[in-house]
Amino acid sequence: MEKLVHDAQALFGVHLTGWQIVALMTYERELLEWNQKFNLTAIRDAAGIRTKHFLDSFSCVLAWQANPPERLIDVGTGAGFPGIPLKIIYPTMHLTLVESVGKKAKFCRHIVEKLGLEDVDVIQRRAETVGQMPEHREQYDWAVARAVAKLRVLGEYLLPLVRVGGTVLAQKGESGPAETHAAEGALKVLGGHLRQLVPVTLPGVVEDRYLVLVDKVAATPPKYPRKSGIPGKRPL
């Protein structure tokens, strides 16, 4: 854990308190245990969890610097990444986790309860459904997603959830720049405008990583997101 504490501070300016370190240790232990039964993530060792889950989640801090979200929605969160590590470092943030796979949503609820996290909602629905629900549509400062879909598709999942003036953050690997270029037209249709790509370095990870930031500059037309499965089959 010492290396994680050091790297979080050195790379992203995240200072972890005693409670936060204990919370992350508990999260790691529970994830390793559940993974043996339910196959929640492909990463199955403590070092991998610390770098590729925890540190990778903390990298989102580069997007908002000293102005963290008040309301964040994490779509396709899986076992809670990046949403739950961000909630651990921003305890007052209101967090909504969207995960359509039952065993993963169940794990997220378990961790939220185990860590005593408040103001966290776990929704077991598809993103297309949530984007058309009045209580979630255009209600969030930031919408984030990691390893969910290509940006042309992801924009249709995320932009409807963000208020005008808010931002979408897509965590991407080396395909980030090419995906971003291919998605600009789709993002515009949905009310988005590409702000920037922020390069991310993780210790021991060779692959290029990026935070793709898309500002919401206009309301998303009511017909988006389309019905479940359509964005993936027929990207804008």
Q: What is the pLDDT along the chain (236 residues), one digit of tens a residue?
A: 899 999 999 999 999 999 999 999 999 999 999 998 888 888 888 898 999 999 999 999 999 988 999 999 999 999 999 999 999 999 999 999 999 999 999 999 999 999 999 999 999 999 999 999 999 999 999 999 998 899 999 999 999 999 999 999 999 999 999 999 999 999 999 999 999 999 999 999 889 999 999 999 999 999 999 999 999 999 99
Query: DSSP characters for 46-115?
Result: HHHIIIIIIIHHHTTHHHHTT---SEEEEET-TTTTTHHHHHHH-TTSEEEEE--SHHHHHHHHHHHHHH
Q: Is 67 left (phi over 0), alpha (psi -120 to 50) or beta?
A: beta
Query: Could you give the domains of the chain?
Result: 64-233 (3.40.50.150)
- pLDDT given at position 43: 85
SS3 233: helix
pLDDT of residue 41: 84
- Quickly count: other Cβ atoms within 10 Å of residue 150's Cβ: 17
| 159 neighbors 134 (Cβ within 8 angstroms) | no
Q: Taking the CB of residue 50, how many other CB atoms lie within 10 A of it?
A: 22
The strand pairing partners of 210, in sequence order, are 172, 199
pTM for this entry: 0.96
Residues 134, 64: Cα–Cα separation, whole Å: 26
What per-residue confidence (pLDDT) applies to 147?
81
